[in-house]
Structure 1
Amino acid sequence: MSTTSGDTYVPNRDLKGVIPEVHLNVEKPVDQDASKRTSMTEVDIDPVALEKQEAVETEAPPREITGWKWGLVVVSILSSIFLFALDNTVVADIQPAIIANFGDIQKLPWLTGAFLIGSASTNLVWGKVYGQMEAKITYLISLVIFEVGSALCGAAPTMNALIIGRVIAGVGGSGMYVGVMTLLSVTTSIQERPMYVGLTGLLWGIGTVLGPIIGGAFTDSSAGWRWAFYINLVIGGAFAPVYLFMLPKSDPRKGVPVLRRFKELDWVGTVILMGAFVSFIMAVSFGGILYAWNSGQIIACFVVAFSLFGIFAVQQERAIFTTIEQRIFPVQFLRSRTMLLLFAETSAAATGIVVPLYMIPLFFQFTQGDSALEAGVRILPYIFLMVFACIVNGAVLSKYGYYMPWYLGGGILFVIGSALMYTVDSSSTAGQVYGFSVLLGTGVGVFCQASFSVAQGTVKPSEIPSAVGFITCAQITGITISIAIANSVFLNGAEEGIAKILPQVPRDQIQGAIAGVGSKFVQTLPVEVRQRVLDAIIEAMSKAYVLCITAGALAIVLSLFLKRERLFVAPGLA
């Protein structure tokens, strides 16, 4: 194996320690003192590094399906990323129609919170399941769960049924997301994988931005808001033949009975972890919105959440009611500096993704009186640049393998764009908002999906499903927490600001106007009052970008601790 080209994959170090040093001197007799010779058996060879080295040197993609069939498989599984992202935001513009249908406005925060509860509480579970079970079957099960949840949402006779459907869809959607990453990891070579991971970012961005647009379009049409959920069944059904007959199989534990694998799962850890996540997400999602932060309900949720997280930590560390190999949380990653940094970087990037997605359309709805469709179009420059940057990152990372600069450069643009968005006020032009958001989107885009590829190149091949679940946990948790904080900052800030200007207006009326049809509320005010109200609303939006500035600064600082190493590169590629 040549080492002169400089393109051999060497994780975490130079060639020393991976390729044994062999010193040859033909002038010395072969029977010289053993202490002066270098023996191959005396060299400390890192077995993990060699395992990853062998994986990288296999240039041929590990799949039998090729050509147009492989392209169809990629399109079909990426469609599930689109649907999962779509469901994250589809309720944004159908909330007024749902409230008009069911009432129960006090349960409005559950429409978003329920989906996040289902997805965030199960992503680590799915990561472990994919490491145990046949990937195709597991993916199909998660797809069915998602479609069942979507069907229940569409046919829901009550608000409670709709909330339950959202939870079920969140569980299935999380499984689909982890499943796509897992399927790509077992069907692509490590050199081409970043490009495919970049495509997941493309579909995620498209689905996220189209969610409010599609939801609003169905609501305004004769089809009605229920088709915002039924559309998932249509798309899933269209790709069903591909899922069933063309999707490659991958079994990580061939020959082991399914029942035995099922029993070996860490069920105790699963229950504890899900309980902890449910309590925590309820606290951060409803605090300051549905209940006051110092209310008994929110305090109880936080107490239960942190108590369960503590119990979970002890149970995982000591492998109680499970084994070290089967515990649900990849404890070994906590000893890896790179994996911990990737977790934090991914969470920071998630903040930069979702805060502008929610705040930019709101800005135009309040200041320009835009409809849901018009406001959705306004965010396209941000989405396009973020997605383009994500794809460029995947392509360049595949070829050259250096990942640390992406996090540093992306973090810098992230902070600059966020700081500029913080300065936006009611007099700012659309061009300014577009320009500022493009900087922010580009910064986030160059590293928001990179951790999936880097993590898979850092761990052993057998740990890839757990690594995917670990990074997915970072992404979904970051999205959940940042949405909760940003919404709380905006809604509470706007409510307080408007209440000072219009003390005679009941607070519940202000809350309903901001959460539902805020632009109409503002447009009905007298001209002299309207500007003051707009200033209060925009100021509340600006405070949400402080969260982005903080996340971007964190990304910059943490990037300095990432290793200056080269991944994914095989002989002859560079």
Structure 2
Amino acid sequence: MDSITTTDQSPAESELKETQNPPPINDLLDKAQPEAPVAHMVTGFSWVLVVISILTSTFLFGLDNTIVADVQPAIVNQFNSVNRLPWLSVAFQMGAASTTLFWGQMYSQCNAKWLYITCITIFEIGSAVCGAAPNMDALIVSRAICGLGGTGMYTGVLTLLSVLTVETERAKYFALSGMVWGLGTVLGPIIGGAFTSSAAGWRWAFYINLIVAAICAPVYLFIVPSLEPRPGVSFSKRFVEIDTIGTILLVGIYLSGLMAISFGGVLYAWNSGRIIALFVIACVLFLTFLGQQFWSLGTTPLRRAFPIQFFRNKALSIVFILECCTSTLTYIPVYFLPLYFQFVRQDSAITAGVRLLPFVIFLVAAILVNGFVMTVNSRYMPWFFASGALGLVGSALLYTIDLQTSNARLYGFSILIGTGAGFSLQLPFSVVQSLVPPESIPKAVAFVTFAQLGAPSVVLSVANAIYLNEAKNNIARAITTISGSTVTEILSGVGSATFVTLDGAQQQIILEFIVGGLNRAYILSMTSGALAVILSLFLSRGKMFG
């Protein structure tokens, strides 16, 4: 298709002015309306193919985010590398969360179609190496590659939907993207466990990505329109405007920080030289990053990796924090409810994943309801308030569960938190685009994506560290005959053979401490729900449009 071009105009002055002194919302909405020739450039059956194909890549990204949850025991057994088990999740999270803002910069500079295809290629290369990995080192590196390409794909989907739709219909398409991403994230453990339990083996949990991408490739190549933001500008000129210093510092912060939180108390003692060094490095890099961004060292105020200017707008700042809260409400149950069912109910990986269906169904339904209602009535403040309130109540109830809690209660509690999370998971993508000028939409998308992916990577690392350390220390004090490494294996899900050899009293003690450790994770989601309720009260009661 013919390339769609936009004016090559530096938005630095206008963007800084908008965020410092935001004009009335109606004026902003008039400015933020995309041009008619860009939206609806693809129509009819071609548009259906485009939407299905790009949302498929979002599903694969969500799937890959959690698919190792039930695959890791098989991987550890094959490679005999239980000590490097935490790297499987850390590598993906580091590659995904730390590069979100980088991709936002790239989409504001480069042709969205071909950059999106490049990200898909990176993701598929990582998937191929994951499937063929001869050892744990290769698998860890390839997981980081998947995270890098996956977040680029996700940012690309949101950018394409932003440009190819008009504002009055954009919310429902974001709702669809949130639905498929949520489905992928929650179905990851189920699909991974299914492959692991079948004759195909765990490697096909990664190879499947190649097959799906190949089916969608003709749509990506021949139907998705070419969207050129800066026609006539050379690639070298575009690339030098990327804040490479800020991006490198951000990657370093995530890498050192996540390693310290994930490995502390699990692989190494909290007071060991390695963990202390990692925390020191993370703090130094963080302070350096703050200084580099504040004074725009090696870049310009507009080209900074992190759009600090957005925080000069109260609404943008609040929405960013609200997305962090909602993502926390989404991820905590996805990771910790299956562990409860596996340990307490002795469920298989697949069965434990299936027990998440009430959470999934109501999460997806809430996302869709929000998206379609917003196209009719665009008042967004009540959705954020309801989201935080339901999330707070659901998290508080999950915090109280014990070994005797019935499945019916667990399903009910998870439905509350799932509904709450769904009400506002994708809503910020529509809201922020109504608050910035059109040329800043790619950055606004990356801004929210950073909150959606960055917050859970940190929160889950903290929650997992709390769970492992709480349960491990209590078990070690209560049962002195079990070594620390054995306890770690049991808690990580790869030591079930050891667990079944223990007598009934020891198993009961371990399960009680495991549930107690799992409950601590919901303190983070309760805090997120409470914060969301409070912050939502400071949002405008007005409409985005209409």
For the superposition of Structure 1 and Structure 2, which TM-score range results when normalised by the shorter chain? over 0.9
1:321-379 Cα deviation digits (max 9, x unpaired): 22223222212112111111111111111111111111111111111111011001000
Q: Amino acid of the residue matched to residue 165 of structure 1?
A: S
**Deviation larger for 454-463 or 511-520:** 511-520
Residue in structure 1 matched with residue 334 of structure 2 by the alignment: 357
Partner of 2:347: 370
Q: Which residue number in structure 2 is paired with residue 565 of structure 1?
A: 542
Larger radius of gyration: 1
CA root-mean-square deviation: 2.0
Q: How far off its partner does 1:58 sit? A: 6.5
Q: 1-side partners of 2:506 and 2:34: how far apart?
A: 68
Q: Which residue of 2 aligns with 1:427?
A: 404
- Out of 379, 384, 406, the residue aligned to residue 383 of structure 2 is 406
Structure 1 residues 529, 323: CA separation in 2 closer, same or farther (over 3 Å shift)? Answer: closer
Matched-pair identity in %: 48
1:309-388 matches, cutoff 5 A? 309-388=286-365
Mean Cα displacement is larger for which, 527-536 or 230-239? 527-536
Checking the alignment, whether the CA contact within 8 Å between 2:33 and 2:438 is kept in structure 1 is no
TM-aligned CA deviation for residue 483 of structure 1:
0.9
What count of residue pairs does the alignment treat as equivalent? Answer: 527
Q: Deviation at 1:523?
A: 4.3
Q: Contact conserved, 1:522 with 1:530, CA < 8 A, in 2?
A: yes
User: Take 1:376 and 1:99, find their aligned partners in 2: how far apart are those partners?
Assistant: 20
> Residues 445 and 518 (structure 1 numbering): CA distance in 2 closer, same or farther, change over 3 Å?
farther
Partner of residue 179 from structure 1, selected from 147, 156, 171: 156
> Helix, strand or coil: the match of 1:558?
helix
1:475-516, CA deviations, whole angstroms, 9 ceiling, x for partnerless residues?
112111121111112112222232233210111111112212
SS in 1 for 2:200: coil
Encode CA deviations 1:211-254: one digit per residue, 9 max, x unaligned: 11111111111111111111111111110001100112211112
Q: Tell me if structure 2 keeps the 8 A contact 1:346–1:474.
A: yes
1:52 partner amino acid = L
TM-score normalised to structure 2 length: 0.93
| Residues 76, 494 of structure 2: 8 Å contact kept | no
SS of 2:168 mapped into structure 1: coil
Give how far 1:527 is off. 2.9
Aligned to 1:537: 514
Give the letter aligned to residue 542 of structure 1.
N
SS in 2 for 1:446: helix
**Which amino acid is 2:356 matched to?**
I
Match of 1:157 among 126, 130, 134: 134
2 CA distance for matches of 1:521 and 1:393? 47
Matching residue of 2:30: 53
TM-score with structure 1 length normalisation?
0.88
1:126 aligns with 2:95: no
Deviates more, 1:289-298 or 1:443-452: 289-298
Distance 2:334 2:461 in 1: 13
Q: Does the 8 A contact of 1:414 with 1:441 survive in 2?
A: yes
Change beyond 3 A, Cα 1:250–1:429: same
Does residue 455 (structure 1) correspond to residue 419 (structure 2)? The answer is no
Which residue is 1:509 aligned to? 486
1:554 pairs, out of 520, 531, 537, with 531
| 1:74 matches 2:60 | no
2:281 to 304, 311, 325: 304
Write the deviation string for residues 244-301 of structure 1: whole angstroms up to 9, x where unpaired.
0011221111222222212222222222222222222222222232223332222222
The equivalent of 1:116 in structure 2 is: 93
Asked whether the equivalents of residues 32 and 436 of structure 2 are also in contact (C-alpha less than 8 Å), the reply is no
Residue 452 of structure 1: CA displacement? 1.0
Q: Is the 8 A contact 2:127 2:146 kept in 1?
A: yes
Instruction: Tell me which residue corresponds to 1:142.
Output: 119
Secondary structure, in 3 states, of the residue corresponding to 1:322?
coil
1:444 corresponds in structure 2 to 421
Structure 2: gaps of 5 or more residues: 1-17
Q: CA 1:529 to 1:315, structure 2 compared with 1: closer, same or farther past 3 Å?
A: closer
Q: Which moved further from structure 2: 494-503 or 47-56?
A: 47-56
Amino acid at match of 1:500: R
- Residue in structure 1 matching 2:198, options 201, 216, 221: 221
**Cα distance per residue 1:111-154 (max 9 Å; x no partner):** 00000010111000000100011100110111111111111111
From 370, 373, 385, the equivalent of 1:393 is 370
Q: In the alignment, residue 421 of structure 1 is paired with which amino acid?
A: L
